[in-house]
């Protein structure tokens, strides 16, 4: 990737900071592992422990990937005589409690999966009508996070509730448990509603994250479609509540999905977008044979620190769509120019949605977070290099389906008397009221 900038003067960092009220669990996006896209239902105790050990040995746990989600298929297909969930004895011969204890010894917490309907999506017992009972089982087994799906919905005359009401049943059970055990860590609640009823509007009242799209697939068209959705809902993410764009497909060459066919640049674009959109980052790849390139992508510390920013909870949002008019809904060619604030500088993501290498340019003040009349140090979050100082505009060469992830920090005022006087000359005027014309 080539960056063209003008180098002027010295550097001085400027960071914007906001404070957040600590209202409980889930302030920042969850980082960890998800079994489903890599293994489907074909996982057991040995698979879980081998992936967890790989997380530790590859340095992912130290980077913050410290949660392990058993996504469906972890119980028997029938409850016991008291209506309780029963752990799959064949998959977990030593029990789930022993398994979560071993994960904890590696620095990894455990996450459960269930469903707001009669059954999970893979046909295992759902939690409708068993909310408090199942929560008790998960707590006993050592789980502290719940992904809650939306399959096998009871008839309307049974529930007399819409999707909000069905999810609220579990949210209420979690709240009741927290009230009864004030010194225990509250469950984190992740709603997997698929975006059909606009969860970004209401789900914040119930949980810490909510799915806004259908299941992700390991190819570019799926990634582009989800980014298109994100361009219209990204502003609803903040501390304690965020859009979940589904599992990371970086390095996914497992058994649960067809062989991924994303290029290296497409994997970079996928990870960059998810990290800067402040989505949960849940790896779903067989880590025992992951490629060096995919591991490097997942280990990008610059992007991870933006995702886990302790002071700025909001995500990036589009400031220009690019090849399409602004606010165009296009699943194959989503918005290309994105920006946001962070504790470490102003964030820019330039996404090339075309099949050819493109030169992408923008005016710095197109970003709301940029100060007019200032110079900016340009830091590339993929090459991890400082690439000079930008004056008014920035031009980047981006490969097909590739991405540029830039961090800009204030480097002092522009030189005086430089024309044009205004980077955005429209409505710019002299003190006497005469408009300036570029």
Write out the two tokens for 350: 């330039």
Strand partners, 407: 347, 379
Please state the CATH superfamily assignment of the domain spanning residues 31-308 in this structure: Aldolase class I (3.20.20.70)
Write out the two tokens for 64: 């913050």
Write out the two tokens for 13: 């960092």
What are 50-108's pLDDT values in tens digits?
Answer: 999 999 999 999 999 999 999 999 999 999 999 999 999 999 999 999 999 999 999 99
> Where in the sequence numbering do the catalytic residues fall?
149, 215
Question: What pLDDT does residue 82 have?
Answer: 98
Write out the two tokens for 26: 């889930």
The answer to whether the 31-308 and 317-413 domains have the same CATH topology is no
Give the dihedral sign, CA 363/367/372/376.
negative
CA count, 13 A, side-chain hemisphere, 148: 34
SS3 of residue 32 by DSSP: strand
Q: What is the spatial distance between Cα 337 and Cα 247, in angstroms, rounded to a whole number?
A: 23
The CATH number of domain 317-413 is 2.60.40.1180:
yes
What are 272-309's pLDDT values in tens digits?
Answer: 999 999 999 999 999 999 999 999 999 999 999 999 99
Q: Where are the domains of the chain?
A: 31-308, 317-413
Strand partners, 106: none
What are 28-60's pLDDT values in tens digits?
Answer: 999 999 999 999 999 999 999 999 999 999 999
Terminal Cα distance for the chain, rounded = 31
Write out the two tokens for 231: 């361009």
Rounded to the nearest 10 degrees, the angle between the axes of helix 131-141 and helix 96-105 is 50
Question: pTM of the entire structure?
Answer: 0.93
Give the chain's radius of gyration (CA, Å): 23
């Amino acid at each position: 990737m080539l960056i063209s900038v003008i180098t002027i003067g010295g550097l001085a960092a400027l960071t914007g900071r906001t404070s957040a009220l600590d209202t409980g669990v889930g302030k920042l996006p969850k980082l960890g592992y998800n079994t489903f896209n890599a293994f489907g239902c074909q996982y057991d105790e040995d698979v879980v422990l081998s992936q967890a050990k790989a997380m530790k040995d590859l340095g992912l746990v130290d980077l913050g990937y410290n949660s392990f989600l058993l996504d469906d298929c972890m119980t028997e297909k029938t409850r016991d005589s008291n209506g309780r969930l029963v752990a799959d004895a064949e998959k977990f011969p030593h029990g789930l409690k022993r398994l979560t204890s071993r994960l904890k010894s590696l620095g990894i917490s455990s996450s459960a999966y269930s469903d707001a309907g009669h059954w999970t999506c893979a046909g295992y017992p759902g939690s409708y009508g068993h909310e408090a009972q199942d929560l008790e089982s998960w707590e006993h087994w050592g789980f502290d996070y719940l992904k809650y799906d939306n399959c096998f919905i009871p008839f309307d005359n049974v529930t007399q509730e819409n999707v909000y009401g069905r999810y609220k049943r579990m949210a209420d059970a979690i709240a009741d448990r927290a009230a009864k055990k004030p010194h225990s860590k509250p469950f984190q609640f992740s709603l997997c509603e698929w975006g059909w009823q606009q969860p970004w509007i209401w789900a914040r009242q119930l949980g810490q994250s909510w799915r806004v799209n259908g299941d992700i697939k390991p190819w570019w068209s799926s990634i582009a479609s989800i980014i298109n959705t994100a361009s219209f809902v990204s502003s609803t993410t903040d501390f304690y509540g965020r859009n979940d764009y589904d599992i990371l497909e970086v390095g996914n060459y497992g058994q649960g999905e067809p062989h991924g066919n994303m290029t290296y640049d497409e994997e970079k674009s996928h990870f960059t977008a998810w990290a800067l959109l402040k989505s949960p980052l849940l790896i779903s790849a067989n880590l025992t044979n992951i490629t060096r390139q995919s591991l490097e992508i997942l280990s990008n510390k610059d992007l991870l620190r933006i995702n886990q920013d302790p002071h700025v909870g909001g995500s990036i949002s589009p400031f220009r769509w690019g090849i399409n008019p602004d606010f165009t809904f296009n699943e194959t060619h989503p918005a290309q120019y994105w920006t946001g604030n962070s504790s470490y500088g102003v964030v820019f993501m330039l996404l090339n949605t075309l099949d050819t290498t493109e030169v992408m340019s923008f005016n710095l003040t197109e970003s709301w977070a940029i100060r007019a009349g200032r110079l900016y140090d340009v830091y590339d979050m993929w090459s991890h290099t400082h690439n000079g100082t930008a004056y008014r505009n920035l031009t980047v060469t981006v490969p097909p389906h590739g991405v540029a992830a830039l961090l800009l920090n204030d480097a002092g005022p522009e030189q005086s008397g430089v024309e044009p006087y205004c980077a955005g000359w429209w409505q710019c005027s002299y003190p006497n009221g005469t408009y300036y014309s570029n």
